[in-house]
Structure 1
Amino acid sequence: MTMQQTPVTDAPKDEGAPRTGPVRDRYFDLLRALALFRVVLYHLTGWAWLPLVFPSMGVMFALAGNLMARSLKRPPVQVIRGRMRRLLPPLWLLGVVGVTGMVLQGWGPDADGHPGWWWLHLTFWIVPLSDPPYAEGLPGLHGFVGENWAADFAGPLWYIRAYLWYVLLSPFLLKALRAMPVVTLLAPIALAVAFEHGYITLPGERIPSALTDFSTFGACWILGMAHQEGILRRLPRYVVPSVAPVIVLAGLWYALHHGFGPGNDLDSMPLAQALWSFGTVLLLLHVSPSWSEWPRRLRRWSGTITLLNSRAVTIYLWHNICILIAATLWDRLWAFEVLEQNVPGLLESVWPVLVVVWVLIVGCVLAFGWVEDLAAKQQPRLWPSKPRESAGGSRSRRAPGG
């Protein structure tokens, strides 16, 4: 758990107002960058309170749902094909590196005794309709990559699988949202309650896992669509500030009464996560200022935020293995007696490791990020910290993943 020369305005517009035209929303760019940074920090530290401060996954799904609803003004088949074209090539590159490394360390069809199933499941690295398989318990590279590295390597892939299913379901979700907005928004929450209390039980792991992700973050995706459709704007102004805190507090109450703490945070509590993320995202979309240009106080960060948005998929896919490598390398410093005796606090601190993590992530952006440009049918760039210039000289307004 990952960063146009027009008059600047900080004034918020009406809550939930749909974005008209293709103008890029810098507020959404900021939220996506914060979400990525928080994901990286959380997966490094495991601090249970971080998802409470900023529910990154709910935010990322909401922003993606917003973009999907905007894109569905075009034919759905065309939109879905475009989304898959942008999403899958970075995953394929990850699979080429990761699966090759697993095979070289002995992973193969005899590992689980079902060669046919092994080959079939391997296709999930091509189209992740379910979680791609990986080798468990592999030895690391001594001093450079820790043991069981494949688990860390494949850890982020649940998000890609969930994102793909949301994309495939979006045309139907959008029709349902327009016909029955309240029912559609609350359906994933109701499903989370049903799972939590055992009203619905399903055999196996793959289908329950996919449905749990939908029940946990589906409401956030649909909220993003509702924001784009202007449904939230039609609510009286007092509704969201009155209702959202109640939903957030309900999620917090549930978490605190089910052993919330280190090792048992929101990620281990789908219902609490669903409520907390839904309420927080609802508030963030309610605030939603209109930033077609960066506010003055954020201009110094515009390049970093643009880079994080332009390479969001690459950063998300590779950050876990970067964390493992950084932690393994940092642990080697304990072998130096002078450091162990004089600066043990530095060796125990997570902040130097975080710096190393981002150095490695930068390396991944340089080495693999260009695939995102090719997937978007754009000219590859090593360091996309500035918006693209269109053929006519104006800045590109295509959003990442859009």
Structure 2
Amino acid sequence: MSWTPEHEQQRQDGQYGQGGQHWQYGQYGHQVDPGYRQQYEQPPYEQSVPYAEQSPYEQPVPYAEAIPYEEQWPYVPEESSPYVPEEPGTVATEVPPAGDGEEAVAAPPAPRGRSGGRDRYFDALRAVALVRVVTYHTFGWAWAGLVFPSMGVMFALAGTLMAKSLERPALAVVRGRLRRLLPPFWFWGLFVVMAMLIHGWMPGWQIVFWIVPVGDPPGSRWGEQAWEILWYLRTYLWFVLLSPLLLNTFRRAPIPVLLLSLVPIVVFQYGWQPPDGRLGSALTDLATYLFCWLLGFAHREGTLRRLKPAAVVLASAAALAYGAWYALAHQAEYGTYDLDDIPLAQAFWSAGFVTALMYFKARHDVDFAWLARFRRLDRTVTIFNGRAVTIYLWHEVALILAVPLIDRFWNVPAFEKWLPLESQWFMFAVGWLLIWIAIPLFGWVEDVAARKRPRLLP
């Protein structure tokens, strides 16, 4: 019911006065109990100013005469991030450990396209590096290091994660790295040492390096193919121990320290020769990959992002050119152009190659989020990163076991007829099959080392 002039006249005549018995309609025209007015008594309308002359903002607007909905002020919601539905597998979880042993932290909610909040660009590089390592140890291609210097890439990624972790107390970070690295190494070493002992090896006091590999662990010639890869763990361990000092020095003068990090390997090549043995090997490997480790610091600290593209491209190209020239020009001296046998060439080629990869990441903030669209590939990259230590340690054992296993295949006429048993590619495939068997069998040790619930697959 709408408010009419008759109702207004009745109100002025007092028929709707205080406590009146003719009060039949409420504020919006609804019929109410006559006693309602007595219970909820309200003051009468202002009499000093005629009703019609009152401000429109003071007039009680009847329901039927209310402002149309379309003419009201539009509702403006508060700004908020648009809702983006998460794709399967993007729920934030605890970050799985990678091959360099970074600390597991609670990951923030993952943006669209990322898996578990991890940087898929770095994860993809680590996966490619591991594949290249297995490929090189299968075929022995000298040019493999020129195509992708896997060890330089892995040290750079480890340096980035180490710089991130050192935002916390240094002692706790170093202790956490050792806790993640040593148990998988001990577990693997138990099998290798026992096998060498069975085959007549008798160790001396140097067996302590199988407990803490600050030096090359000793071994027999029979098991050399298995234990020769431990130089990487030894070098990584020393970088971890030195990182608090290195990061503090780097922060004082980032660019000069980064450039001067190539000086030690030049001195070792043209000046002072490191001594033979464990000390000399450790110093040479540290000097070879020091630039890559500090380059990881530069990426984490934002130093790379601030550099001009022209300067980075020029420096990267110069390092690549010098490394390739030295390797090719000294083939007669080393008997090969394999970078693994030429530390100076390895240092400069890795420096130029990894600089380009890390600067591309820093400059364009690429994250390889497209991997989430290929579930099997994305899952494979996840497994490679969650079991990187297992893959690296056990891949040589898998390749060793692939040889006698293939020899058994020759005794099966169907296998001899239809399978390429003499091909290295077949050995490569069998090696990977054994690696995938080792991942669920032995990979859980990485979870135990990280103080997480053991899983067959990460």
Shorter-chain TM-score range: 0.7 to 0.9
Match of 1:391 in 2: none
Unaligned runs of 5+ in 2: 1-98, 100-108
1:131 aligns with 2:216: yes
Amino acid at match of 2:321: L
Map 1:150-169; keep pairs closer than 5 Å.
Answer: 150-169=223-242
Q: Offset at 1:358?
A: 0.9
| Contact 2:132–2:148 (Cα < 8 Å) also in 1 | yes
Match of 2:186 in 1: 92
* C-alpha distance in 1 between matches for 2:278 and 2:127: 30
* C-alpha distance in 2 between matches for 1:297 and 1:367: 29
1:63 aligns with 2:148: no
1:190-249 CA distances to partner (integer Å, 9 max, x unpaired)?
Answer: 11111112x112333111101110111111011011100111111113221222112111
| Contact 1:46–1:262 (Cα < 8 Å) also in 2 | no
| Higher RCO by CA contacts (8 Å cutoff, separation 6 or greater) | 1
Q: Offset at 1:294?
A: 4.1
Task: Return closer, same or farther for 1:202/1:271 CA change in 2, 3 Å cut-off.
Answer: closer
Match of 1:179 in 2: 252
Unaligned runs of 5+ in 1: 10-21, 110-117, 137-147, 385-402
Count of residues in Structure 1 that have an aligned counterpart in Structure 2: 346
Q: Offset at 1:152?
A: 1.2
Map 1:309-348; keep pairs closer than 5 Å.
Answer: 309-333=385-409, 346-348=420-422
| Contact 2:145–2:339 (Cα < 8 Å) also in 1 | yes
Which residue among 77, 80, 84 is the counterpart of 2:171? 77
| Contact 1:188–1:216 (Cα < 8 Å) also in 2 | no
SS across alignment from 2:331? coil
Map 1:233-244; keep pairs closer than 5 Å.
Answer: 233-244=305-316
1:320-375 CA distances to partner (integer Å, 9 max, x unpaired)?
Answer: 111111133324555678877x679x233222211111111112111111010011
Match of 2:358 in 1: 285
1:24 aligns with 2:100: no
* C-alpha distance in 2 between matches for 1:366 and 1:297: 25
Task: Return closer, same or farther for 1:216/1:331 CA change in 2, 3 Å cut-off.
Answer: farther
Task: Return closer, same or farther for 1:378/1:332 CA change in 2, 3 Å cut-off.
Answer: same
1:35-55 CA distances to partner (integer Å, 9 max, x unpaired)?
Answer: 001100000000111111111
Match of 1:14 in 2: none
Match of 1:105 in 2: 199
| Contact 2:162–2:243 (Cα < 8 Å) also in 1 | yes
Q: Give 1 or 2 for the bigger CA radius of gyration.
A: 2
- TM-score, normalization by structure 2: 0.71
Amino acid at match of 2:351: F
Identity of aligned residues (%): 49
1:113-150 CA distances to partner (integer Å, 9 max, x unpaired)?
Answer: xxxxx13x1111111010111122xxxxxxxxxxx2x1
Q: Offset at 1:173?
A: 0.8
Task: Return closer, same or farther for 1:89/1:301 CA change in 2, 3 Å cut-off.
Answer: same
| Contact 2:162–2:240 (Cα < 8 Å) also in 1 | yes
1:194 aligns with 2:288: no
| Contact 1:124–1:132 (Cα < 8 Å) also in 2 | yes
* C-alpha distance in 2 between matches for 1:89 and 1:272: 34
SS across alignment from 2:421? helix
SS across alignment from 2:427? helix
Match of 1:170 in 2: 243
Q: Which moved more, 1:223-232 or 1:176-185?
A: 176-185
- TM-score, normalization by structure 1: 0.81
* C-alpha distance in 2 between matches for 1:202 and 1:47: 28
* C-alpha distance in 2 between matches for 1:279 and 1:310: 28
1:247-297 CA distances to partner (integer Å, 9 max, x unpaired)?
Answer: 111111111101189854100100000011010000001111432844456
* C-alpha distance in 1 between matches for 2:279 and 2:217: 14
Query: What RMSD in Å do the two structures reach over aligned CA positions?
Result: 2.3
1:253 aligns with 2:325: yes
Task: Return closer, same or farther for 1:285/1:299 CA change in 2, 3 Å cut-off.
Answer: farther
Q: Offset at 1:179?
A: 1.0
SS across alignment from 2:216? coil
Which residue among 112, 132, 141 is the counterpart of 1:47? 141
| Contact 1:307–1:383 (Cα < 8 Å) also in 2 | yes
| Contact 2:323–2:345 (Cα < 8 Å) also in 1 | yes
Task: Return closer, same or farther for 1:220/1:298 CA change in 2, 3 Å cut-off.
Answer: farther
| Contact 1:202–1:208 (Cα < 8 Å) also in 2 | yes
| Contact 1:251–1:276 (Cα < 8 Å) also in 2 | yes
| Contact 2:111–2:117 (Cα < 8 Å) also in 1 | no
Stretches (4+) displaced over 6 A: 335-340
* C-alpha distance in 2 between matches for 1:34 and 1:348: 26
* C-alpha distance in 1 between matches for 2:266 and 2:407: 42
| Contact 1:134–1:151 (Cα < 8 Å) also in 2 | yes
Q: Offset at 1:7?
A: 3.0
* C-alpha distance in 2 between matches for 1:23 and 1:362: 25
* C-alpha distance in 2 between matches for 1:85 and 1:364: 21
* C-alpha distance in 2 between matches for 1:60 and 1:203: 26
* C-alpha distance in 1 between matches for 2:356 and 2:146: 14
* C-alpha distance in 2 between matches for 1:297 and 1:276: 33
* C-alpha distance in 2 between matches for 1:262 and 1:360: 33
